[in-house]
Structure 1
């Protein structure tokens, strides 16, 4: 498909003045940085077309994209820090749809969030890591109060999601990327995690709208502090999943600081077993994505033994929160 033709078609649906587009990347979306020449007006154009078929899902539908953008609009009116604000097209619609080579492509535009992409060096003190934990808590705090109707559609991160992930990893075994012995360990690990998820209760304090993709590439250090970007995979799940992803980003000695910052807003106890389960699922999700990328197979083969060595003590009931 000629994506150059596609993005040019989309830009004509907005009131941009002489826009210039630069390709950023193609992952779960094809993204472009759009700048109006002669001004500082800058935007993010997203073409909701994942790079591989195994990344397709409900989040790529027009209804789900619209729901994400509605959430961002609401979040932007409550957040003390900058938010990627959706921009409507000339028809006042948040989602634009074009048909290129008989394929329907949904697109959206957000205001560009100025700042620096964060890295490990930016979160290397207990104070900054604790603040990061409070940022996750503030996001969840808003989600608890966010009102939506039945037309609000986003992915759900529960058993169907974990089972789909396992199916993708099984494909890796069939391709010879993952050995049968290693896949057997993964299968048992998923079974234990699913058993734990089945015991979790869905209450206003445990289940709601989550970011679901917290990592360094989705954090921007703005002049006002840490802001989250890329809600493309956001959906309904256990709040512990976001916290686990945040903790997974940190060195072992910094993980308690994430929990301290989070529980400073929510005084409830965070269950370590839950966090460990979601930390593993975050890793499994990344590996499942890489199974469909041939250029990553060598890396997967090299790294799989390390992951298996983490799963084994987990299966034996040992705490791995500081060892992943």
Structure 2
């Protein structure tokens, strides 16, 4: 089904005047940049339909989209850094449901955040890395205090999630893009991480609402600081997962600065083994996502030996990889 022109049906439900629409991408959502001639403001339109069934999940149901938007709306009243504020439709609802070719599709619109998408070069300084650690801690501190309603629904990033991810990687072995030898090592790495997760507590200090998809493309740098965008995969998980994803974006020489900045606002011991485990899971999740994309199979074949050599084998042999990868 072709959803690429479906924005016209969605925009009928909003107070836009002669909107100018530009296609962005189709990934976990179909996204457009919308410029409103009437207000001179810019917005992000999301049609919550993933490009493959492999990406379908709890995050695509109405209640989960509503929950994400409620969180963003609440956080926007506390954050000093720009937040993607949800825009209600003409009926005052945050989620708009339309019928496209006899299929029910959920949509939402967010205010656009002006700034530059961050890159590796933007996290070369101690000051910038420290700022990233601070923003993660502020997000998590708000999450700890956020009072969610009884209908609040988002994905969970626990043992069931790791098993689903491993199943997707197993399908990569079955079609021959991951060798059996490499998959067995990956499977052993998952087993070790799962064993550690089984004894991790889900206390308010360690488990809550997280972004769950921190990467360069989801960080916007403006004059006011670093903003997180694209909460489409956000859900319940260990706060260490967000910290680990941020560490992957940071040069190993600066990772202690990231941790120090984070713990300045959220005191407590950072377990390096836990971070290493979540770093691996973040990488593995990307591989699992690409398994369903034939155009990326060559990339997986090319990169998998490096993942085994530089992460899995040292990790399984009890070596610290946090300061080496």
1:172 is matched with 172
CA distance in 2, matches of 1:269, 1:156: 23
1:63 is matched with 63
Query: CA shift at 1:323, angstroms?
Result: 2.1
Query: CA shift at 1:89, angstroms?
Result: 0.6
SS in 2 for 1:3: coil
1:161 is matched with 161
Query: CA shift at 1:322, angstroms?
Result: 1.6
User: Structure 2 unaligned runs (5+)?
Assistant: none
Farther off after superposition, 38-47 or 142-151: 38-47
CA distance in 2, matches of 1:183, 1:10: 43
Confirm or deny that 1:237 pairs with 2:271.
no
CA distance in 1, matches of 2:106, 2:324: 41
CA distance in 2, matches of 1:322, 1:127: 19
1:8 is matched with 8
**TM-score w.r.t. length of structure 2:** 0.98
Query: CA shift at 1:251, angstroms?
Result: 1.4
Query: CA shift at 1:2, angstroms?
Result: 2.9
CA distance in 2, matches of 1:48, 1:2: 14
Cα root mean square deviation, aligned: 0.9
CA distance in 2, matches of 1:167, 1:323: 28
Confirm or deny that 1:306 pairs with 2:281.
no
8 Å CA contact retained: 1:6, 1:98:
no
CA distance in 1, matches of 2:76, 2:88: 15
CA distance in 1, matches of 2:76, 2:156: 23
Query: CA shift at 1:38, angstroms?
Result: 5.9
Confirm or deny that 1:320 pairs with 2:321.
yes
CA distance in 2, matches of 1:268, 1:54: 37
Confirm or deny that 1:281 pairs with 2:281.
yes
Query: CA shift at 1:6, angstroms?
Result: 1.4
8 Å CA contact retained: 2:212, 2:242:
yes
Query: CA shift at 1:39, angstroms?
Result: 4.6
- Please give the per-residue CA displacement for 1:216-255, whole angstroms capped at 9, x wherever unaligned: 1001112211111111100000000000000011111111
**TM-score w.r.t. length of structure 1:** 0.98
8 Å CA contact retained: 2:16, 2:38:
no
SS in 2 for 1:264: helix
Query: CA shift at 1:4, angstroms?
Result: 3.6
Alignment of structure 1 residues 42-57 onto 2, 5 Å: 42-57=42-57
CA distance in 2, matches of 1:323, 1:75: 35
Confirm or deny that 1:144 pairs with 2:140.
no
- Please give the per-residue CA displacement for 1:66-116, whole angstroms capped at 9, x wherever unaligned: 000000000000001110000011111100111111211110000111111
Q: How many residues align?
A: 324
CA distance in 2, matches of 1:252, 1:223: 26
CA distance in 1, matches of 2:10, 2:146: 30
CA distance in 2, matches of 1:200, 1:38: 52
CA distance in 1, matches of 2:6, 2:30: 11
Alignment of structure 1 residues 39-118 onto 2, 5 Å: 39-118=39-118
CA distance in 1, matches of 2:185, 2:4: 44
CA distance in 2, matches of 1:264, 1:71: 24
